[in-house]
Amino acid sequence: MFTFNGVSKPFVRMMYDGNQRPMWAEVDRDLIEIPGRPGAFLRQTKTKVRELSIPIMIDGVSDLQKAKEEVAEWLVTDKPEALIFPDEPDRTYYAMVNGTAELDEIFKFGKGSVTFICSDPYKYGAEQSFTIGAPLDPDTNQIKNGDFREGKDHWYSTNNIGEAVPVSSDQIEFKHAFEIKQPDIYLIYFFDDPMWWAGKQGYASCWANVQNSAFDTGNGAVLYFRARKKSDQSYIYFQSDQRLNGDTNGWIQISFPFDFSTITEEIDQLYFAISTAGGFTVVEAQFTGFMVTFTDELTPWIPDGTGHVKSNGTAPTHPIVECTFTEAAEGYDVQLLNSDTSLNKGVSLAFDFIEGDKLVIDFSKRLATLNGEKKNTAFLIKSDFYQIPPKKDTLIRATQPSTIKFKDRYL
């Protein structure tokens, strides 16, 4: 028995002989032929509606005509409904009947076929749900006020120059940065109890925005992450230092992988440092988002507020994003990132959200509701609604803790 709109009928049986379920919906290629050139150019591809012709048998009824009325009441709907076949229980088609159904009738027995069409030509599997936008576990991030919301109290500077300033950027989620507009600064964050790190590995990372830094002209800034051996005071550098040359043209992510799993010597210092010391002239730069993440496997670091999602389907699928605001905010962003954490596409809303507001964004309908009321006017014109690609880890960033849901979609 197949199930339609959540209902199955025990007297309606699907026959497998003559079952016509295509492997995929019809694909129509629009080709342009050019005289004198071999072959053709593909202009566009259109996936047409999926048609399903299902042989059925009505049997075991006392009144065949009344049974036909019951089947008509069940299958004739005003919109597509969920259709599930017994030999494919983990897939759902969204279908409605098309045309009529003619039965060969013998007394209380009927045999024929029903044609369904799926205006959405894909079939769907399990629903996936992921949490995104949540800050990292405070026990994971070992750098305090990494976005400088509390100033730079946890940092040491040789001459206390530079200041913490608010920042706003589509690329980063941090609210404040440490800004340098003077030469000869040496800003360090010392980690407590460096031997606590023994046996661990992970990433020390930050974001940088540099407008004026060129080592070959006497300017420059350098970032590094290093430990000092207690025995001879020599240094262990984790990845080569990052020399910031020229204008970074916006915020860039810098990540230092470290591996303490092979270090057996005692360490008496471990620190992250920004240096323009040594006679350099003015460097204009901002730094923020310092954090450390520990991992059993050294994989590319991702910024706070970003999460991995994955669809197991074979076709892109539209997500639904839900956010209940834990604090007031002047807007909301949920972004699809490239593998290097740069922006691919994003949806942005401008609105004065308050604590407790519930925002739902349905990407398939390009619809936003706030506390149950339509709020599409909040979408910024730059919003670009995206789909979750199939069969790959995908990075999604949200400016508030959110849940992203989608159904695996199949060809």
Q: What are phi and psi of 133, to 5 degrees?
A: 80, -5
List the CATH code of the domain at 3-121.
2.40.30.200
Domains 3-121 and 156-294 share a fold: no
* Residue 387 reports pLDDT greater than 90: yes
The residue behind tokens 């050294």 is 298
Alpha-carbon distance values, 129 to 89, 297, 411 (Å): 21, 24, 21
Strand partners, 258: 202
The CATH fold assigned to 156-294 is: Jelly Rolls (2.60.120)
Tokens coding 278: 């040594």
Among the residue ranges 28-37, 61-70, 133-142, 162-171, the one predicted with the least confidence is 133-142
User: Which residue ranges make up each domain of the chain?
Assistant: 3-121, 128-134+305-410, 156-294
What is the arithmetic mean of pLDDT over 103-108?
Answer: 79
Tell the burial category of 336 from Cβ atoms under 10 Å away from its Cβ (0-12, 13-18, 19+). Answer: buried
Give per-residue pLDDT as tens, 272-299: 888 876 666 667 888 888 878 777 665 5
pTM: 0.63
- Look up the CATH architecture of domain 128-134+305-410: Sandwich (2.60)
Among the residue ranges 58-72, 121-135, 245-259, 389-403, the one predicted with the least confidence is 245-259
CA atoms of 411 and 406, how far apart (whole Å):
16
Give per-residue pLDDT as tens, 140-176: 667 777 788 777 777 887 766 778 899 877 777 788 8
Among the residue ranges 9-18, 144-153, 173-182, the one predicted with the least confidence is 144-153
What is the arithmetic mean of pLDDT over 353-374?
Answer: 96
Give per-residue pLDDT as tens, 248-269: 778 888 888 888 887 888 999 8
